[in-house]
Amino acid sequence: MKLDRVSGLMAGARQVLSPNVDDRPAGVEPEVLIVHAISLPPRAYGGPGVEQLFCNRLAPEDHPYYREIAGLQVSAHFFIRRDGELVQFVPVNRRAWHAGKSFCEGRERVNDFSIGIELEGDDEHPFENPQYDTLTALTRALITAYPAITPYRIYGHSDIAPGRKTDPGPHFDWRRYRQALPRPG
């Protein structure tokens, strides 16, 4: 897996570009990764809901939960499906709208300096081996492209928005994930 720094696109990722994106502040590059979990409808996997949400095409009549989130404009840089497929919604050199009201490393406006990675999942089910494989390969490529990102600068959504968010949830194996990453020099 390799990132093209000019385009901000990851080789090997299926590209589904989201309109929920804008420019990072001048001179700001990614410094941290934020790991999320999402499933739409909740606790259902494999459907088009996440892609529809991130592209403002979610139909409220398709599921009762969709009525609750109708009109929400969110995105992430990447989405990793249960089978390990990598989907990219936002070039990493642009700002995705994934962190919401959050606080990380003493700073607000976390979207300004982060890359958001969504895993297809929830708080109730373990993640799949192919997801960890893809997440590890993706993280290695991002660390190579952006040296400010290290294994010590990777957070869960729950870490940067405590009390508001719980993802990636209790079944995400942080130890397994971090052990698979390169150790800083």
Catalytic residue among 31, 51, 118, 128: 118
93: which DSSP letter? T
Phi, psi of 9 (to 5 degrees): -100, 145
Helices (H), the chain: 49-54, 64-69, 129-145, 157-160, 174-179
User: CA-CA distance, 78 to 139, in Å (whole number)?
Assistant: 11
- What does the alpha-carbon distance between residue 180 and residue 32 come to, in Å, rounded to a whole number? 17
Please confirm, yes or no, whether 124 is among the known catalytic residues: no
Active site positions, annotated: 118
